[in-house]
Structure 1
Amino acid sequence: MNIAWVFVVGCLLLADAEAKKKSKKGAKEIFNSETLKCLVCQSLVEEINFAIDKVDPKKKVETGTFRLNGDGTQNRVVVPYARSEGHLMEVVENVCKNFEDYAQAKYKASGKPTIIRITTPEGNMNPKMGEVDMVPDDDLNTRLKFYCENIVEDQEDEIMKIFSKSIQNPDIELCGKRTGLCKDLSPPQEEYNFENDEL
């Protein structure tokens, strides 16, 4: 009876090891570098938008030159601080540190890959954690920060142009149109209202 028990335990351990191998292989397939770069780019846009939105809209900064014109005036303009060059440069310089708080996951409902912030920017547990299953990463998610740093380094000028103005769908503009990191991004569809349809 002892031999049978050892055989059963051995089979269970072997099956568990095979399942773990398949799970790791499956995770690597859905979290390839192309997918991760797209997800990181979209999260980067969210992080920058959050940093802009948390600034008091009444806060202004004076920009322009200190040179005097021939008539003794200066070309100075007062602009909202949130989208000023100085603030955006500070945000872009520090935004990738936030990716230390991200992890790879799959949506429970669809199985679609995503990356999710473990805690909210305020420090609370992310309420969306219940919607996903975490996917372990051998690199402890250091790739996410690495990809963010690469995007920021390569696209800093584009990021500054996009976020200096308040444009709709900055994720599509940056991650789709300007970088090509996300192939399937499209603007959200407006819901069609059948009640207003005339026959």
Structure 2
Amino acid sequence: MKEYGEQIDPSTHRKNYVRVVSRNGESNELDLQGIRIDSDISGTLKFACESIVEEYEDELIEFFSREADNVKDKLCSKRTDLCDHALHISHDEL
């Protein structure tokens, strides 16, 4: 979780968590403008992830045990309504 920073969308004021370190470990390739990086963010993100997993544990098990197509889309938008605001954004890491 330490590879992520927090960015506030100026139009919606929603928090977004974005990678601040590339997959190869270098941060100089990424545009970090407008991204807040501090130790509190990793704790907040970890808590949010754990809360989502706890709340939707049954759905997660159901989707991954059946190996359904488009698991991230079905779970994120159709079953939980957690990501409807971001359906137009590509989420390669989900």
Task: State the TM bucket, normalised to the shorter chain.
Answer: 0.5 to 0.7
Larger Rg: 1
Long gaps (5+) in structure 1: 1-98, 189-199
Q: Determine if the alignment matches structure 1 residue 145 to structure 2 residue 42.
A: no
Query: What root-mean-square deviation, in Å, do the aligned CA atoms of Structure 1 and Structure 2 show?
Result: 3.3
Q: Partners in 2 of 1:171 and 1:127 — Cα distance? A: 29
TM-score normalised over the length of structure 2: 0.61
Are the structure 2 counterparts of residues 102 and 131 from structure 1 closer, same or farther at C-alpha, using a change threshold of 3 Å?
closer
Long gaps (5+) in structure 2: 90-94
The percentage of counterpart residues that share the same residue type is: 28
Who is 1:159 aligned against?
60
Deviation at 1:148, TM superposition (A): 0.3
SS of the residue 1:163 aligns to: helix
Are the structure 2 counterparts of residues 121 and 130 from structure 1 closer, same or farther at C-alpha, using a change threshold of 3 Å?
closer
Who is 1:102 aligned against?
4
Task: Name the count of aligned residue pairs.
Answer: 84
TM-score normalised over the length of structure 1: 0.33
Deviation at 1:177, TM superposition (A): 1.2
Contact 1:103 1:115 in 2 (8 A): yes
Q: Which amino acid aligns with 1:144?
A: L
Q: Which amino acid aligns with 2:57?
A: E
Q: Partners in 1 of 2:23 and 2:58 — Cα distance? A: 25
The superposition leaves residues 10-65 of structure 1 with CA deviations (integer Å, 9 ceiling, x where unpaired) of: xxxxxxxxxxxxxxxxxxxxxxxxxxxxxxxxxxxxxxxxxxxxxxxxxxxxxxxx
Structure with bigger helix share is 1
Q: Determine if the alignment matches structure 1 residue 116 to structure 2 residue 18.
A: yes
